[in-house]
Amino acid sequence: MFEFGGLTVALFIVALLASSLRILREYERGVVFLLGRFWKVKGPGLVVIVPGIQQMVRVDLRTVVFDVPSQDVISRDNVSVKVNAVVYFRVIDPAKAILQVEDFLNATSQLAQTTLRAVLGKHELDEMLAERERLNQDLQQLLDAQTDAWGIKVSNVEIKHVDIDESMVRAIAKQAEAERERRAKVIHAEGELQASEKLLAAAEILAGRPQAMQLRYLQTLSNIAGDKSNTIVFPLPGELMNLLMRNGRAGE
C-alpha cells in the first residue's frame, strides 16, 4: 500500500514538472501571466511555469505575410476598380500584441483592408497604375503608425493587382492612342517651326549676297540635271539680258 502511494506521488510530481516546463524556439517569446496579471516576457529556451498560478501565451516574432482580399475601390475620378495587396509585418513587442488587442493577426488584416480603400480612394486611376511605389510607401507608413500601439511593425505593403472592367480598358486604350497622336502632331509642328526659322535665316543671307544666290541657283540646276527625264529651261540672268539689249542698241 505504501509502495503504491509512493508511486502515485512520484507520478504526480513527474506530471507536474512536465506541465510546468516550456521550450520556446529562438523566434518565439512567452507572455507570462501571474494570477491573471501580466508578469513578464520570457524566452527563448527553457521556461518554467507554475501550474495553476501562471499562464503563458506564445508569440511568434517572425515576419508574417498575408494577402489583403480584393477590395472594391472608387477612385477620385469616379472609376470603380478592384485592388488587392500583400502586407509584411512582425511583432516587435509581444506584451503589447497580447495585451492591447484581442487577435493581432485579424486586427491587422482588417485594418489593412480599410486603409487600402481609404488611401486609394483619394487618388485617380492614372496614379494607381503609374505611381504604385509611392502608394505602397503611403500605405506602409499609415499602417505602421496605427499598429504601433499593438507592438507590431509593418515593414512593407505591396499593391498586387488593379483590376479594371473591359469598358474602362478600351477607354484607356483610346486615351493612350489620342495622346500618341497629339504628341506626333506637336513634334511635327515643332519641326515645321524650326525648318521655317532656318529657311528665313537662309533667305535673309541670300538676299544680302547676290553671289551666294547665283551659287545656289547653279547648285539647284546641277541637282536637276542628274535626272535625264527632266527638260531644263535656263532663264537668262537679268544682268545678261540688260547687257545684250545695250549691245543691240549700240549696233543700230
3-state secondary structure 95-109: HHHHHCCCCHHHHHH
Report the chain's mean pLDDT, rounded to a whole number: 81
Model confidence pLDDT, tens digit, residues 240-250? 556 556 655 65
CA angle 102/61/53 to nearest 5° reads 60
DSSP state of 53: T
Judge if pTM exceeds 0.85. no
CA angle 200/205/209 to nearest 5° reads 145
Contact 59, 29 (CB under 8 A): yes
Write phi, then psi, for 91 (nearest 5 degrees). -85, 125
Beta bridge partners of 34: 37, 54
Measured between alpha carbons, how far is 221 from 91 in angstroms, rounded to an integer?
86
Residue burial 224-247, b: 16+ Cβ < 10 Å; e: rest: eeeeeeeeeeeeeeeeeeeeeeee
pLDDT of residue 96: 95
pLDDT of residue 230: 59
Contact 108, 152 (CB under 8 A): yes
CA angle 92/98/101 to nearest 5° reads 100
Measured between alpha carbons, how far is 104 from 97 in angstroms, rounded to an integer?
6
Instruction: Please name which of 168, 188, 163 lies closest in space to residue 84, comparing C-alpha atoms.
Output: 163
Nearby residues of 207 by Cβ (< 8 Å), 6 or more positions away: 213
Which 3-state string (H, E, C) describes 7-39?
HHHHHHHHHHHHHHEEEECCCEEEEEEECCEEE
pLDDT of residue 62: 95
pLDDT per residue, tens digit, the chain (252 aa), is 545 566 676 676 666 677 788 889 999 999 999 998 999 999 898 888 888 889 999 999 999 998 998 888 888 888 888 899 999 999 999 999 999 999 999 999 999 999 999 898 888 888 888 888 999 999 999 999 999 999 999 999 999 888 887 766 666 667 667 777 888 888 888 888 888 887 777 767 766 666 666 666 666 666 666 666 656 565 655 555 565 566 556 555
